[in-house]
Amino acid sequence: MIEKITIIFVSFHSEKKIVEYLERLNNKYKIIIIDNANDQFLSKKLENFQDLEIVTNEKNLGFGSAANQALKKVNTKYALHLDIDSKIDTNSIEKMIEESDRIKDFAILAPEILNHKYKEENFIKKNYEDKYNLMNFVEGCCLFFNIKEINEIGYFDENFFLYFEEVDLVKRLINKNKKIILLNNIFIEHEGRASVDTKYNDEIEINRNWHYMWSKFYYHKKHFGYFYAIIKIGKSFFSSGFKSIIYSIIGDKVKKNKYKARFSGCLNSILLKKSWYRPKL
């Protein structure tokens, strides 16, 4: 069973979390790690783990590009992407493989996330089959890929650096009549915003806010047009600009930087500039 799957991780200053995850997986699976932090010592730190391939990028390519690097290296039938701040046990992974063999005609499977509730509009059909829900969106912290189906549409859009990559991928798959299925009998924990070493929190928060706004505009422009995308981020554009000025006057540097980043992300996307901001670590 385990020879059918490759597990992929994208790492950015996430050494401690990676070690914890690999210890839980207990050398049971083939694993590919794409390191976006140019950690020249990561291979040495992980040398005790088996069947592990590490690719070290000289610069931070973002999630989509790094995930694509891993997916293109996969030579198994399935691939499982796991966020480093998620938690899943090997029994649940093996249950996902069993379900994938039963379903067969799917592009992506995803487990339920503990303490997370999907919106009604995320469901195409509840109880599509026993234990399955047909979806038009699933959270990206744990994605089980049918490699053959994913190959047909070209993986993640690498114009996204962070955020909305999985939203875009799922939409493109659905446009090709591919099935996205939520498994309601398998569960995963997701801590959220905890994959990077906490000493980088301030800069990572700036990075997240910039890219969330840029990616939100880009996604809606790509699928629904420029003016619709303007409508989707218009309120955030004006409010973030106003708040960045207010917090600058008050002297709250943290909030000023947060809203300044959001405003810049909006502005650059509206001006059709590429996603250029990178965390200064």
In 71-212, beta strands by DSSP E: 78-82, 86-87, 108-113, 123-129, 132-135, 142-146, 180-190
6: tokens are 């490759």
Give residue-wise pLDDT tens across range 68-127.
999 999 999 999 999 999 999 999 999 999 999 888 789 999 999 999 999 999 999 988
Domain around 122: 2-190
1: tokens are 């069973």
State whether 58 and 163 are in the same domain.
yes
> Is 195 a residue whose pLDDT tops 80?
no
Of 150, 130, 176, 19, residue with least CA distance to 74: 150
State whether 29 and 166 are in the same domain.
yes
CATH label of the domain that carries residue 20: 3.90.550.10
Asked if residue 128 is part of any domain, the answer here is: yes
Average pLDDT along the chain: 92
Give residue-wise pLDDT tens across range 208-226.
999 999 999 999 999 999 9
The one-letter amino acid code at 12 reads: F
State whether 85 and 110 are in the same domain.
yes
State whether 171 and 207 are in the same domain.
no
Task: Choose the final residue of a domain: 190, 209, 240.
Answer: 190
Task: Choose the final residue of a domain: 158, 190, 222.
Answer: 190
Asked if residue 29 is part of any domain, the answer here is: yes
Give residue-wise pLDDT tens across range 223-260.
999 999 999 999 999 999 999 999 999 999 999 999 99
Dihedral (C-alpha) 152, 153, 159, 164: value to the nearest 10 degrees?
Answer: -130
State whether 171 and 235 are in the same domain.
no
Total number of domains in the chain: 2
State whether 56 and 164 are in the same domain.
yes
Three-state secondary structure call for residue 31: strand
140: tokens are 């990206």
The span from the CA of 220 to the CA of 233, in Å, is 10
Task: Choose the final residue of a domain: 190, 221, 250.
Answer: 190
State whether 120 and 16 are in the same domain.
yes
State whether 231 and 160 are in the same domain.
no
State whether 130 and 226 are in the same domain.
no
pLDDT grade, residue 202 (50/70/90)? confident
Asked if residue 280 is part of any domain, the answer here is: no
Classify residue 215 as exposed, middle or buried by CB count within 10 Å of its CB (0-12, 13-18, 19+): buried
179: tokens are 């099935």
